[in-house]
Amino acid sequence: MNKILIVISIFLCSITGEAQENTFIPQPESVVFNTGGFQLNNETKVYIPSKNYTDLQSIVASKLKQDIDLNLSINKGKVRVSSNYIVFQKVKDASIDSEGYILEITDKKVVIKAKDYAGLFNGFQSLRQAIPVGIKGTTVVPNMLITDNPRFHWRGVLLDVSRHFQTKEFVMKQIDVLSAYKINIFHLHLTDDQGWRIEIKKYPKLTEKGAWRAKRDGIAWWSREAATADEPKTVGGFYTQDDIREIIAFAKTRNVEIIPEIDVPGHSKALVASYPELFCSDIDTTNVSFEVAVGGKAPNNTVCPASEYTYEFLEDVIEEIAALFPSKYLHIGGDECSKKDWKKSAMCKQLMDENGLEDYEELQSYFIQRIHKIVEKQNKTMIGWDEVLSGNGVPGATIMAWRRGKYTPEVQAPRAGYPTIMTSYLHSYISRVQGPTSMEPEGPNSVLPLSVVYNHEPVPSELTEEEAARVLGNQASLWGEFTPTESHFEYMLYPRTLASAEVSWSDPKVKSWERFQYALETSHFKRLERDNVNVAKSLFTVYPVFGIDQLHSKAIVYLETEAVGYTIYYTLDGSDPTIDSNKYEGNFKATPKSLLKAGLFNKTGDLLGEITEVRLK
């Protein structure tokens, strides 16, 4: 985009010298504050174009009621008053991209201009953020002019509802919250080893058996013993096709596209448990369990690529999925496929010989290419995790590039001509904990701080301009192994999905980590809590590092935090720190076995996060 980008600092001053705070997330392309403000009250009239009235009016009315407890008159068509109104306008303006908008607030009116429904919706979300948080009833919204367009048109979040099922209502709540931050893609990981979550009418056992597993509460995910055939299967759930239609309709009015994922040929334990005939029939199954996995270990979890029944079955499933979801995309997984069982199968070896396949990677490629043809037959574009590039690849597909390091799909895929979505496990897998592991809920022993998500650049510098144009966008992924409750699920989502939203929407030139964290502290944590969202404040946690100097019998202590512009205070006597405690100004020495407590404080003396506590031994 060839546009003039205006970088905005945390504080902007109007011509009267009055300070205005720029706390928008994601950061708009340009924000210019002006003197004065628009009085928003119960007399304010709202006007929406007739074509968009049905979808937009209920959202505008309900959100203004929820946010500031105003009951506004929502009208269809042209403006019929001279002042104190909000108007949504469809315009033809070359400076406004699809999903972009112009928001102008003056003393007399608020105007939201866009070329499409998505832009009108996004402009309204920015208006909501311009309204001071915490005020109920009449309020003054600062005068300003915002011009804004998205960097990427794929701004996604993956929700894994297979490992731990989440209700329809909970999914819709997250769509409602995240669409306010201009997230427009919800990737639903609907099937995996631990559960099949979507009704397929032709194959009812997928939900009769595949949606339920044995209870293993209180046992570490990777240490759970496999289920036996006769124990009760009480953990799980699934979405009926009517549930899915309701989610899709709800999402559509919020400019959110739902992308379904049916994961094959691996990650398919729930599938083969429901229909064992999908397993290679010439393998000895004496010691094979056909029960839905209860945790991380799920051997014998692949469908057979050498059986025609596999393709007939999956074609039926894909046909129902394609008819249900209006998105042009259908995700078939393709990741982390174990070849152990295939190597035991004479059927697989014969298929490889007949088709000149050199190894089992090419056998997987053969399978993926056949599934690709099935997806294409339904007039859909197939998405696969970057493992589908192995073997002979799958021309015509879209790649979701997650691996990094030894594998470089973020470069390989766009260079090979594939449309590519970036979802780096190093920067965007928000199933990893977000603060010191000793202070976070159960999760992988790996930390992904908010600042790492925020500072990620999705487009590799090695790509040419032509190759970079194949990057469709960016996505955060929340895998569900360690999120058994709604509260924990939200804790992992927020605020890291807000950071990902800014990475996906905002031009890098207008981003600022200091501004972003300040916006969270002063505005967005309050907004999320107001909307009953459980949000993590781990960015304000203090990380302690210490070593014992045995020669001098001293502990040498370092304190760090990812947040900038704040002050760490600490104690060594067991008391909770305050701004009257020791101010951290660099590493210090302490008596071994002392109890260190440290916290992060803002300029007004408020403790921002939890107090870190550690014994120096």
187 and 308 co-located in one domain: yes
Query: What would the pLDDT profile of 427-474 be if each residue is shown by its tens digit?
Result: 999 999 999 999 999 999 899 999 999 999 999 999 999 999 999 999
Each residue's pLDDT tens digit, 447-457? 999 999 999 99
Q: Are 80 and 108 in contact (CB under 8 A)?
A: no
Cβ burial, residue 388 (10 Å; 0-12/13-18/19+)? buried
Residue 15 has pLDDT above 70, yes or no: no
Please determine, for residue 195, whether its predicted confidence score (pLDDT) is greater than 60.
Answer: yes
CATH number at residue 546: 2.60.40
67 labelled catalytic: no
Quick one: three-class SS letters along 310-327? HHHHHHHHHHHHHHHCCC
pLDDT of residue 388: 98
Which of residues 530, 564, 581 is at a domain's end? Answer: 530
Q: In this structure, what is the dihedral angle of CA atoms 483, 486, 488, 490, given to the nearest 10 degrees?
A: 110
Gap between the Cα atoms of 433 and 476, Å rounded: 14
| Section 360-383 average pLDDT | 98
187 is catalytic: no
The overall average pLDDT reported for the chain is: 95
Question: Is the CA virtual torsion 477, 481, 484, 488 positive or negative?
Answer: negative
Query: Which of 466, 496, 530 is a domain's end point?
Result: 530
Is the pLDDT assigned to residue 17 strictly greater than 80?
A: no
The token duo for 287 is: 């010691």
With respect to residue 535, please indicate whether it lies within any of the assigned structural domains: no
Name the 3-class secondary structure at 26: coil
**457 falls within a domain:** yes
| pLDDT at 128 (0 to 100) | 98
Residue 376: pLDDT band (50, 70, 90) is very high
The SS3 of residue 31 is strand
Tokens of 507: 């031009």
| Rg, the chain, Cα only | 27
| Residue 263 included in any domain | yes
Residue 129 belongs to domain with CATH number: 3.30.379.10
User: Sign of the CA dihedral 125, 126, 127, 133?
Assistant: positive
For 93-152, the three-class secondary structure string (H helix, E strand, C coil) is CCCCCCCCEEEEECCCEEEEEECCHHHHHHHHHHHHHHCCCCCCCCEEEEEEEEEECCCC
State which amino acid sits at residue 52. N
Within 13 Å of residue 577, how many CA atoms lie on the same side as its CB? 28
Residues 514 and 569 reside in one and the same domain: no
Q: How many helices (H) and strands (E) does the chain have?
A: 16, 28
The DSSP annotation for 159-221 comes to: EE-SSS---HHHHHHHHHHHHTTT--EEEEE-EETTEE-B--TT-THHHHTTTEE---TTS-G
Q: What is the pLDDT of residue 106?
A: 98
- Position 2 in a domain: no
Whether residue 350 is found in the same domain as residue 378: yes
The residue segments making up the domain with residue 460 are 154-530
Asked if 345 and 304 count as a contact pair (C-beta separation under 8 A), the reply is yes
- Assess whether 579 and 491 both reside in one domain: no
DSSP per-residue codes, 603-614: TT--B-SPPEEE
125 and 234 within one domain: no
What is the pLDDT confidence band of residue 360, given thresholds at 50, 70 and 90? very high
* Pair (598, 477) in one structural domain: no
Q: Is 524 a catalytic residue?
A: no
Which pLDDT does position 445 carry in this prediction? 86
- Confidence check: pLDDT of 617 > 60: yes
344 and 429 belong to one structural domain: yes
Instruction: Report residue 21's pLDDT band, with 50, 70 and 90 as the boundaries.
Output: confident
pLDDT band at 16 (very low <50, low <70, confident <90, very high): very low
Output the six-digit token pair for 223: 């240490």
The catalytic position among 97, 148, 176, 192 is 192
CATH of the domain at 158: 3.20.20.80
Whether residues 92 and 133 share a domain: the answer is yes
Residue 404: enclosing H or E segment and its boundaries? none
pLDDT at 11: 44
Percentage of the chain beyond pLDDT 90 is 96
On whether residue 1 sits in a domain, the answer given is no
Q: What is the pLDDT of residues 126-173, one digit of tens each?
A: 999 999 999 999 999 999 999 999 999 999 999 999 999 999 999 999
Of 189, 267, 372, 524, which is the active-site residue?
267
Q: Is position 6 within any domain?
A: no
- The number of angstroms, rounded, from the C-alpha of 553 to the middle of its chain's C-alpha atoms is 47
pLDDT band at 5 (very low <50, low <70, confident <90, very high): very low
Asked if residue 341 belongs to a domain, the reply is yes
The pTM of the whole model exceeds 0.85: yes
How many Å apart are CA 280 and CA 258, to the nearest integer? 33
Domain membership of residue 5 (yes or no) is no
Same domain assignment for residues 304 and 222 = yes
Q: Which of 71, 100, 98, 103 is nearest to 86 (CA)?
A: 103
Judgement on whether residues 131 and 176 belong to the same structural domain of the protein: no
Catalytic residue among 336, 457, 529, 576: 336
The CA distance from 143 to 148, in Å, is 16
**Could you tell me if 413 and 500 lie in one domain?**
yes
Domain count, the chain: 3
- For the segment 548-558, the average pLDDT, to the nearest whole number, is 97
Give the C-alpha separation, 422 to 449, whole Å: 18
Rounded to whole angstroms, the Cα distance separating 382 from 376 reads 7
The last residue of one of the domains, among 530, 556, 585, is 530
CA distance 469 to 458: 12
Asked if 282 and 397 sit in the same domain, the reply is yes
